[in-house]
Copies of this chain bind each other. A is one copy, B any other.
Amino acid sequence: MSKIKRIGVLTGGGDCPGLNAVIRAVVKSALNLYGMEVIGIEDGYEGLVYPGKTRALGFDQVRGILPKGGTILGSSNRANPFAMPVEENGKLVAKDFSARVPERMEELGIEALVVIGGDGTLKIAKELKDKYGIKVVGVPKTIDNDLSATDLTFGFDSAVRTATWAIDLLHSTAESHHRVMLIEVMGRDAGWIALHSGMASGVEAILIPEMPYLIEKLVKKIEWRESQGRKFSIVVVAEGARPVGGEMSVLKKPHLPWELPRFGGAAQRVADEIEKLTEKETRVTVLGHLQRGGSPTPFDRNLGSRFGVSAVDLISQGKFGTMVCLRGREIKYVSLEEAVAKKKLVDPESEMVKSARALGINFCSEEE
């Protein structure tokens, strides 16, 4: 194995506190431990297709970025080299530009890639490896914490912090005004943020995708509280929550296969139903992008840093086609195949859910 001299790093998909910690750790450990140069690739895979979207990263370029949210490299939700959106005859279509990736890497002298991203970004990494033999190491990024290959990813702790902070804020308003406050948090497939932030802020009910809800059970809980003299209720709703037998609330259909649907309205739907069934005033707050912002928590900074160091270590060992992960308290790695194989969902029978129930939190599911 010949020694790697120059690597690239890119960030794909949605924002996530801790991305800069990974980038910084990749640069610092590449320089400190192996003398590798690092090239930053801008706006996800776009930087590997279009020219002029790369820059050398040294100590100066990563100074002071550890506590900052976002990614200094930029990101892109649309940048799939296998299906890049192009306008053709006034219509937006998808085209395969993937062959440019190995060419571009050749031009830049990049021998291996650190790809930081979620499900979608890592699947593309795997395709690039399979089709063009590109040497890639993945770093998992999913603010929803729904990747089964890793116990935790950076960003989740920060999102839970922000959501808990917001619910704490709403508590005073709800108490003062005898209202039902609904707060919608991220989580289209998995209810982790809702579960952790709802439990941490002591809400009355948590509605998550894994446990479809019966609106009657929620109304019953609210009315029971009222009968006890507790005239407000706070309910956390994951954006993917849906009634038993119902669908997710989708705001806008995607135009093209690589586009994400824009979900939303899960909390508003619940509010509308409560107002139909009771006379209670309801208020909806949608946290939205706030959850992706802000300075990463110490946990996320450290996990991101450790992932970054570990990714470069894997490259130095020639262990390509892998993704770093956290198992228990240790950093390990899995193959990219395994990495994207399955979603990690909240288990309705888990100790965490049972603990939440013991504390009096309802999930309003059929079995409850």
Interface contact B299-A299, CB-CB below 8 Å: yes
Q: Which of A282-302 contact B (CB under 8 A)?
A: 283-286, 288-290, 292-295, 297-299, 301-302
Instruction: Give the Cβ gap from A75 to chain B, nearest Cβ, in Å.
Output: 5
Interface contact B301-A173, CB-CB below 8 Å: no
Number of A residues with CB within 8 Å of any CB on chain B: 77
Which of B75, B160, B164 contacts A177 (CB under 8 A)?
A: B75
A341 within 8 A of B: no
Which of B166, B172, B354 contacts A69 (CB under 8 A)?
A: B172
Chain B residue with Cβ nearest A173: B15
Chain B residue with Cβ nearest A43: B178
Interface contact B28-A176, CB-CB below 8 Å: no
Which of B176, B288, B358 contacts A75 (CB under 8 A)?
A: B176
Query: What residues of chain B lie closer than 8 Å to A354, measured between beta carbons?
Result: 309
Interface contact B298-A71, CB-CB below 8 Å: no
1/0 per residue A325-342: CB within 8 Å of B? 000111100000000000
A61 within 8 A of B: no
Interface contact A355-B288, CB-CB below 8 Å: no
Q: A199-B305, A200-B301 are in contact. Are A294 and B360 (CB under 8 A)?
A: no
A66 within 8 A of B: yes
Interface contact B309-A173, CB-CB below 8 Å: no
A172 to B17, CA, bound (A): 9
Interface contact A290-B166, CB-CB below 8 Å: yes
Interface contact A283-B288, CB-CB below 8 Å: yes
A134 to B171, CA, bound (A): 34
Query: What residues of chain B lie closer than 8 Å to A188, measured between beta carbons?
Result: none
A285 to B166, CA, bound (A): 14
A233 within 8 A of B: no
Q: Which of A170-210 contact B (CB under 8 A)?
A: 170-173, 175-178, 181, 196-197, 199-202
Interface contact A351-B328, CB-CB below 8 Å: no
Complex A-B, nearest 9 residue pairs according to Cβ-Cβ distance, in ascending order: A70-B172, A169-B293, A69-B172, A200-B298, A29-B358, A70-B176, A328-B328, A164-B298, A200-B301
Q: List 11 A-B contacts (CB under 8 A).
A: A25-B355, A32-B358, A68-B172, A75-B177, A151-B329, A161-B297, A164-B298, A169-B293, A172-B292, A297-B297, A306-B352
A contact residues vs B (CB 8 Å cutoff): 11, 14-15, 17, 19, 24-25, 28-29, 32-33, 43, 66-71, 74-77, 151, 157, 160-162, 164, 166, 168-173, 175-178, 181, 196-197, 199-202, 283-286, 288-290, 292-295, 297-299, 301-302, 305-306, 309-310, 328-331, 351-352, 354-355, 358-360
